[in-house]
Structure 1
Amino acid sequence: MQPLLIIRSERGQMSAIERRIADFILENAHLLRDYSSQQLANALGISQSSVVKFSQKLGFKGYPDLKYSIGEAVARNGDGAEPVASGTDDHSQGVLARELWQAKSRAEEETRLLNPPDRIDAVAGMVRDAGKVFVVGTGEDSVMARAFAIRLSLLGFLAIHHFDPVLVPAEVSTSRPDDVLLLFSERGQAATLCQLARLFRSRGGRVVSVTRHTANPLRAHADLSLLVSAHDEAAHVEPLLYQAALQQLLDVVFLLLCGDESRRRQLADYHEHVRSLLDS
């Protein structure tokens, strides 16, 4: 994973001082070669040891190793400056659209790097082998959960979506050890979902949590976790990045589940049926 991606993806779990270092590096990556650890510490008003510990916490031997790695990444990908738009893209709407797309692309890349292929394969395998798949989300997460449950149903999986997690325990009481519970919660703090995960696992079921890449209670109660990284200073933009990165992650799982020819055929038959209804 590139060093700048590591810093972005880990930022949500950093202390206040670590976030200050991270933000400085992200904003001044192309200038970092001119900073020693002491100069960086002086610029931020912190101790040199904080810079060294920050580097080591990210998996580097020390600050020089981190600086060298970032220098290589900048040389390989350019200085990080945004290209100047031309023609109609000079219009504020064009600039807005381009910046949003770039931000979504960064969030998707960070999210992809946080979820190694073997983890994605394991989640797809759990769903593929499940007797029933329970899907639960709260708030805006319920929208993504419902959409994913519908797509699973179209592939022939017995997927059960619940809007209200308070009502799920009654359904869970009928679950079997080969069933799977997918819990969608951006912050992973919902006590109701944590209780539901404990109940489901006590009956032998397996739990998959879908949350941000943070240390949260829901992840601790899950057998497997899908993680999303999406950060932006603008409060109205960050949810857009989260939803885009999460959708891409779920799409990859869906495509893996489409590997079975009979399920693809069932999905194709459904789409053909819908087209015939719309054309009639």
Structure 2
Amino acid sequence: MSELAVILDELAHVPDPLASKEVSELIRLIRNAKRIYLSGAGRSGLMIRAFANRLMQLGFTISVVGEISEPHTQPGDLLIINSASGCSMQLLAQAKVAVSNGVKVVIITTDVHSPLAKVADTVVKIAAQSKVSQTTSLQPMGSLFEQMSLLLFDAISLKLMKITGIDETSMRKNHADIE
């Protein structure tokens, strides 16, 4: 079996989180948020940045935490954190600031009992291998979680397209033109 076939097989065996009530709640929170903040560390952070880009193209007002242009949070805002372990002290500090400012917090994680999960309003579980889990994967460290989170974010984007009636032509108008 090729390496790509192994990866695809592993992804096919991760339970689909899309139909969960937590993902439905995440979609509701996205649609109702004044501004959406997105954060993650390492490769999980790269996946959440891809989601931030897609949400912006869908017309949502977004900010990536840590960017120089990030404004102050307000009640009615939403913070989405992607963290396999849910243990990053930096992300936990961000979540606590958000909560103290009246911001709803959602975490996408493998560990629903993690410190970040305890602070979050909504916890979306991806039952996949991470760098700290005991779940086995032929891929190194957290690759399976990272891949699955990106696929989940793309699936949520498709759901949002359907719900809002925004098509790819409309999204192109929000696509970067100074590249």
Is structure 2 residue 113 aligned with structure 1 residue 196? no
**Equivalents in 1 of 2:7, 2:91: separation in Å?**
32
Q: Which amino acid aligns with 1:97?
A: L
Is structure 2 residue 111 aligned with structure 1 residue 207? no
TM-score, with structure 2 as normaliser: 0.81
Is structure 2 residue 49 aligned with structure 1 residue 146? yes
Q: Which amino acid aligns with 2:48?
A: A
Where does structure 2 lack aligned partners over 5 or more consecutive residues? 130-134
Following TM superposition, by how much is the alpha carbon of 1:239 offset from its aligned partner in structure 2, in angstroms?
Answer: 2.7
CA deviations on 1:160-190 (whole Å, 9 max, x unpaired) are 01347xx89x84xx32211000112221111
Is structure 2 residue 164 aligned with structure 1 residue 260? yes
Q: Which residue of 1 aligns with 2:12?
A: 105
State the aligned residue count.
173
Q: Which residue of 2 aligns with 1:239?
A: 142
TM-score, with structure 1 as normaliser: 0.54
CA contact (8 A) 2:39 2:48 kept: yes
* Structure (1 or 2) with the greater helix fraction: 1
Q: Which residue of 2 aligns with 1:186?
A: 84
What secondary structure does 2:81 align onto? Answer: strand
| Structure with greater contact order relative to length (CA < 8 Å, sep ≥ 6) | 2
Percent pairwise identity: 22
Following TM superposition, by how much is the alpha carbon of 1:249 offset from its aligned partner in structure 2, in angstroms?
Answer: 1.6
Where does structure 1 lack aligned partners over 5 or more consecutive residues? 1-93
Following TM superposition, by how much is the alpha carbon of 1:101 offset from its aligned partner in structure 2, in angstroms?
Answer: 1.6
- Tell me which structure has the larger Cα radius of gyration: 1
Following TM superposition, by how much is the alpha carbon of 1:244 offset from its aligned partner in structure 2, in angstroms?
Answer: 2.1
**Equivalents in 2 of 1:249, 1:181: separation in Å?**
17
Q: Which amino acid aligns with 1:106?
A: H
CA, structure 1 residues 130+98, in 2 after alignment: closer, same or farther (shift >3 Å)? same
Q: Give me the CA root mean square deviation.
A: 2.9
After TM superposition, list the pairs within 5 Å mapping 1:74-153 onto structure 2.
94-107=1-14, 110=15, 112-113=16-17, 116-153=19-56
Q: Which residue of 1 aligns with 2:132?
A: none
What secondary structure does 2:13 align onto? Answer: helix
